[in-house]
Structure 1
Amino acid sequence: MNIAPEPLPGMPGQRLARGVARALRDMGFVTVEELVPTPGLRVDLMALGPKGQVWVIECKSCRADYQADRKWQGYLPWCDRFFWAVDADFPTGLLPEETGLILADAYGAEIMRMGPDTPLAPARRKAVLQGFARHAALRLQALRDPAGVISAWA
């Protein structure tokens, strides 16, 4: 039997996000990419854990990508833990030590350093979980009925 090679996402950050999502799924987490927790912020990957944990993972493909990111600290109030996901060639010494670190590629990932646990306030957690659920549901609907979901994104 001939099996076609698995297609890879086009952008390096998307490849990292896929590998991280696979690894987190093995840990019981579910993820969504490019979630907007509040206007002006868009996280690369948000993960929901089996005990309700909310993690934000920012995928950085190179030094310039990291240095151009001026918003990452704005993500901290929207998660219990924050992580950077980078590949093995990334200069990890650039990343703040008080954040989590994940080494990843398109096929998997490994948590190298846990970010500090800063639990969300109950009202914020409720808003984040509702946003996560709506985002995931809209993505699923878009797969089944792309034309019917366009108006829901507006």
Structure 2
Amino acid sequence: MPLVSPFSKEPLIDGRQSERAMMVRRGVQRLMIAHRVSLLPEMPLKSGRRADLVCLSEQGDVIIVEIKTSIEDLRVDRKWSEYLLHCDRFFFATHPGVPPDIFPTDHGLIVSDGYTAEVLREAPEKRLSAATRKAMMLRFARLSADRLLQAEWAANPFMTE
């Protein structure tokens, strides 16, 4: 049995997210699930960036949700504009303590209280090319399968021996 495992004990939480970001994420996840949208947190993109939430609708639409927990969080982070190349629709998500008028009006906006979430502004649709859509779906599927295996192994330590 190896002394060091390459697999995380908590494969769905990597420790880089604040408690408030996790609260916003949970509400957005519940909203998406209620709309039959599948999602993956912390999905690496081809660009090397990592999206907070990548969502896949039943129709195959790719939606990215970027979580911002404060005015300063939005002000200092400019990498989110790169996510627009990887999705059909883009949303910011935040909590009720952040003023909604600070977010760019040409993107969607979701407010989450941790238990549920509400879409304050729909995101305009900008369709992906067929090649980018295929690449995103393959990345989504492979990461989903990898995380499912990691979760199974974390739940049953005898699987890694």
Q: After TM superposition, is the score higher than 0.5?
A: yes
Task: For 2:106 and 2:144, locate their aligned partners in 1 and report how far apart those are by CA, in whole Å.
Answer: 29
**Structure 1 unaligned blocks of 5 or more:** 1-8
Question: Quick one: which amino acid aligns to residue 101 of structure 2?
Answer: G
Which consecutive segments of 4 or more residues in structure 1 shift more than 3 A?
Answer: none
Give the Cα separation in 1 of the matches to 2:32 and 2:120: 13
Residue 21 of structure 1 corresponds to 29
2:127 matched to 1:119?
yes
Cα-to-partner distance string for 1:21-73 (whole Å, 9 max, x where unaligned): 11111001011000011243111001000111110000111111111211011
For 2:59, the equivalent position in structure 1 comes to 51
How far is 1:94 from its partner? 1.2
The number of aligned residues is 142
Number of the residue aligned with 2:19: 11
AA of the residue aligned to 1:76? L
| CA deviations over 1:82-108 (Å, ceiling 9, x no partner) | 000011111211110000000112111
Structure-2-length-normalised TM-score: 0.82
Distance 1:54 1:39 in 2: 16
The letter of the residue matching 2:119 is: I
Aligned residue runs from structure 1 range 24-39, under 5 A: 24-39=32-47
Alignment root-mean-square deviation, CA: 2.0
Q: Which residue of 2 aligns with 1:63?
A: 71
Q: Which has the higher contact order (CA 8 A, sep 6+)?
A: 2
Q: Percentage identity across aligned positions?
A: 35
Q: Distance in 2 between matches of 1:102 and 1:14?
A: 14
TM-score, normalised relative to structure 1: 0.86
> In structure 1, how many angstroms separate the alpha carbons of the residues matched to 2:100 and 2:131?
34
Alignment counterpart, residue 85 of structure 2, candidates 77, 84, 94: 77
